[in-house]
Structure 1
Amino acid sequence: MQLGTGPVTRIDHITVTAPTLEAGAAFVYGALGVAPQTGGEHPRMGTHNLLLRLGDDLFLEVIAANPDAPTPDRPRWFALDRMAPDGPAKLSTWVISTADIHAAAAASTEDLGRIEPMSRGTRNWLITIPADGSVGIDGVAPALIEWDANPHPATGMTDHGLSLTRLEILHPTPSRIAALLASIGLKDERIECRLGDQAQLVAHIQTPQGLRKISL
């Protein structure tokens, strides 16, 4: 698939990082009133996750270092190695899906990292990961992902009636973020790049109890 021939990228999931899955689950439940379900383990990264459906092809992930897994010989993704044991859970990054990760990465105005194979259980995918495990552009850059097969993982998650209505990306230079998203073909009215004193992600999520938001 070639960039420019249609919508080739879309928001895939948003990611909450936490020192432990228990802390992450409590953070999400406090914000949204719904507990995420069990996900699985990422052997190459020494991490594990919890999952919460936000639509047919969109979900929220809670991710933490897995204390029962060997320490990887590389930095963990999403800056998890920089998280203090008593640090707060927070919305730390987001992930954009593409049918051609190599084309999208090549078109990007920002270096989103190397394209690497990853797995969780029976699912396999390609994803961009900076070599130092950081999240680019002061913590608001997305990762790119290309899933190995259909259906999307969200279809197998419990539907609690949650949906993402808006993702705010705050940054001192919002035009830089907008240029990146345009370069990889992301057109989504739910994504809003705004001027902010500091870089931050804010997700607005519709729940059965009303509109809630999740961020730092």
Structure 2
Amino acid sequence: MLELDHLAVAGESLEAAVAHIEDALGVRMLAGGQHAHFGTHNQLLGLDEGLYLEAIAIDPEAPELPYARWFDLDRFEGAPRLGNWICRSDDLVADVAAFGADVGAPVALQRGDLRWRMAVPESGILPNDDCFPALMQWDVSPTPASLLTPSGCRLMRLEVAHPEAVALRERVGLGDARVVYVEGAAALRATFETAHGARVLE
């Protein structure tokens, strides 16, 4: 069974991704760290109801890699944007087998004391123009969502737009009323309840 775990905002730089989130939500993000395997780094924001938000970008100090980075970051350009949503599994191997090879193969990852596995396609590009959720399984407890200082922000709605929205919804099969699928150009749009009122992050 899949559950929504977190959302990821990508930028050409981490500073740009962080500024995009902070400007949209009116809050300050917390420190993150480096992901050595994929040559990226991040900062985090704790959300209500066991979720969190991640700003992520290629680490300019990381060496070149002989394989594609996750979250389609090798092709990223332009303004920062909400690029991916991530769902956690309690049996990643079984879920990957059920969804099919295009969702990726499990890769063991770590950052500090955190340990997890994520299904990453060989190309780094997720199905449905990156609108299919990245699948992961935590191998430690507690996870970032419970460790981060609460920001007072709560996800109200995650809008997943795609030309084949109905088929995407049926394939993902996520029973979360906050996630809504709409027909349109591939994009993600999230609405949050904050201390400043409802705010939108795209």
Q: Deviations over 1:87-134 (max 9, x none)?
A: 210000110001101111122267211111111111111101111111
Q: Which residue of 1 aligns with 2:187?
A: 200
C-alpha distance in 2 between matches for 1:75 and 1:24: 20
Task: For 1:120-139, list aligned pairs within 5 A.
Answer: 120-139=111-130
- Secondary structure of the 1:136 match is coil
Q: Which residue of 1 aligns with 2:148?
A: 157
C-alpha distance in 2 between matches for 1:146 and 1:25: 25
C-alpha distance in 2 between matches for 1:188 and 1:154: 18
C-alpha distance in 2 between matches for 1:130 and 1:110: 8
147, 168, 177: which one aligns with 1:189: 177
| Higher mean C-alpha displacement, 107-116 vs 133-142 | 107-116
- Secondary structure of the 1:168 match is strand
161, 181, 184: which one aligns with 1:170: 161
Is it true that 1:33 corresponds to 2:26 in the alignment? yes
What is the TM-score normalised by the length of structure 1?
0.89
Kept in 2: contact 1:56–1:155 (CA 8 A): no
Aligned residues: 202
Off by >3 Å, runs of 4+ in structure 1: none
- Secondary structure of the 1:118 match is strand
C-alpha distance in 2 between matches for 1:56 and 1:140: 23
C-alpha distance in 1 between matches for 2:20 and 2:65: 26
Question: How many Å apart are 1:181 and its aligned residue?
Answer: 1.5
Give the residue type in structure 2 aligned to 1:71: E
C-alpha distance in 2 between matches for 1:83 and 1:9: 27
Q: Which residue of 1 aligns with 2:8?
A: 15
Kept in 1: contact 2:40–2:58 (CA 8 A): yes
Kept in 2: contact 1:110–1:180 (CA 8 A): no
81, 84, 90: which one aligns with 1:90: 81
C-alpha distance in 1 between matches for 2:72 and 2:28: 24
Give the residue type in structure 2 aligned to 1:34: V
Change (3 A) 1:109 1:173: farther
- Secondary structure of the 1:179 match is helix
117, 122, 137: which one aligns with 1:146: 137
Kept in 1: contact 2:132–2:172 (CA 8 A): no
Question: How many Å apart are 1:34 and its aligned residue?
Answer: 1.0
C-alpha distance in 2 between matches for 1:141 and 1:205: 21
Q: Which runs of 5+ in 1 are unaligned?
A: 1-7
C-alpha distance in 2 between matches for 1:71 and 1:151: 32
| Higher mean C-alpha displacement, 103-112 vs 155-164 | 103-112
C-alpha distance in 2 between matches for 1:77 and 1:167: 21
